[in-house]
Structure 1
Amino acid sequence: MIRIRFARGLLAAGMVAATAACGVAADHASGKVPVAAVITQPPSETLSPKLEQALPNVKGKTFTSAIVDFPPAARAVPHRHGDAFVYAYVLEGTMRSQISGEPVRTYHQGENWVEPPGAHHVLTENTSRTKPAKLLVVFISDTGDEIKVDDPPS
C-alpha cells in the first residue's frame, strides 16, 4: 500500500477569501466575479504512485516510486518529504528546482537531483509555458512512514 499524503493549503478557499478581503463581490444575479478580481494560481502537479516495496537487503527501509506530471507553467507548493531520501529524474521537459540554502538549478530531460532527508524543497516548477514536464521520483523511507508533502513550518 502506497502511503503518499498531501497536506496542501486550500487554494480555492484562499482565492475566495482573498477575493472577499479585497471587497470584491460576485454579481449575484449572474454569479460572475469581475475579471479583475480573479486571482490566478499556477497549475499544480499530479503525482501517480507506481510501486512500493520493502527493501529486502536494508531492514526497515521501503522504496517508493511515482511519476509526477507538471502541466505547462505548473509549480509545486514548497514542501518536505519527512525523513525520506528523494531522487528525482527528469523524464520530459525542463524543471527548475531549489532546496533551501542552495541556488536555483535548472534540469533538462535526462538530468536528476537528490533531496536529503528533511530537506525543504522551496521551488519545483515546469519552466515551459507551453509544454508539459514529467519526473520519475523515488523515495527511500522508513518502513511504515508516510511519504508526505507538508507545508513548511511557520
Structure 2
Amino acid sequence: MIPVRFAGGFLAVGLLAACTPSAERVTGTVPVAATASQPPSETVTPLVEQVLPNAEGKTFTSAIVDFPPSARAVPHRHGEAFVYAYVLEGTFRSQLGGEPVRTYHQGENWVEPPGAHHVLTENTSRTEPAKLLVVFISNTGDEIKVDDPPG
C-alpha cells in the first residue's frame, strides 16, 4: 500500500503489477462530496503513482476524473505540480486565474503550469457525464490538489 495525496488527507490504495516491473498501478476512488447548495462534484480514480527514476525528486501521478452532469470542481491549485489534462468524454469549461474561460471537447487537452490557480472546471452538459485523464509531475511527497479555503 502507498499513500496517494489528495486534498483532505491520504487515500491508501493497493498496488497491482503493470506491464513493466518498474511501473505501479494504483486503484481506488476518491469521491468529492456535494452539498445541497453546491452542484455535484468530481470523482477521482488514481491510476499510477511512480517516482521518476530519471528526474530526482519528481513523481508521476495519473488519474481518471469523472464529472457527473453539471458537476463543477471547487477552485483549487496543484501546488508546484505540472498538470496535463486530456478530455476522454464530454465537454468541459476550464479557466486558470488571469486567463479567459475555454471550452474543451473530447480529444482536446490543456496544461497547467506549476502554481496555477484553477478557478473553473465544469462539465457543460446537464444530462451527460464527462471524463478527464489527468497527469501530474510533482515534487515527491507534495499534495497534488489543494482546494481553496472557503470565503
Shorter-chain TM-score bucket reads: 0.7 to 0.9
Structure 2 residues not aligned, in runs of 5+: 9-32
My pick for the range that moved more, 56-65 or 121-130, is 56-65
What SS does the corresponding residue of 1:63 show, helix, strand or coil?
strand
Check if 1:61 corresponds to 2:62. Answer: no
Query: What's the CA shift for 1:130?
Result: 0.4
CA distance in 2, matches of 1:153, 1:87: 26
Contact 1:72 1:132 in 2 (8 A): yes
User: Residue 34 of structure 1 aligns with which residue?
Assistant: none
CA distance in 1, matches of 2:100, 2:126: 22
Distance 2:34 2:131 in 1: 23
The one-letter code of the counterpart of 1:128 is S
Structure 1: stretches of 5+ with no match in the other structure: 13-38
Q: Tell me the equivalent position of 2:7.
A: 6
> What aligned pairs does 1:130-145 form with structure 2 within 5 A after superposition?
130-145=127-142
Q: CA 1:47 to 1:2, structure 2 compared with 1: closer, same or farther past 3 Å?
A: same
Q: Give the TM-score normalised by the residue count of structure 2.
A: 0.78
Equivalent-residue separation in structure 2 for 1:94 and 1:11 (angstroms):
21
Q: Give the distance between the partners of 2:34 and 2:39, measured in 1 at CA.
A: 10
1:66 and 1:133 map into 2 onto residues whose CA distance is 14
- Aligned partner of 1:100 in structure 2 is 97
Contact 1:79–1:150 (8 Å) recurs in 2: yes
Greater RCO (Cα-Cα under 8 Å, separation 6 or more): 1
The number of equivalent residue pairs is 127
Name the CA shift for 1:46/1:40 in 2 (closer, same or farther; >3 Å): same
Relative to structure 1, is the Cα distance of residues 153 and 73 closer, same or farther in structure 2, using a 3 angstrom cutoff? Answer: closer
Ranges of 4+ aligned residues in structure 1 off by more than 4 Å: none
Greater strand share, structure number: 2
Structure having the higher helix fraction is 1
Identity %: 79
Shift of 1:40: 3.5
Structure possessing the higher radius of gyration over alpha carbons? 1
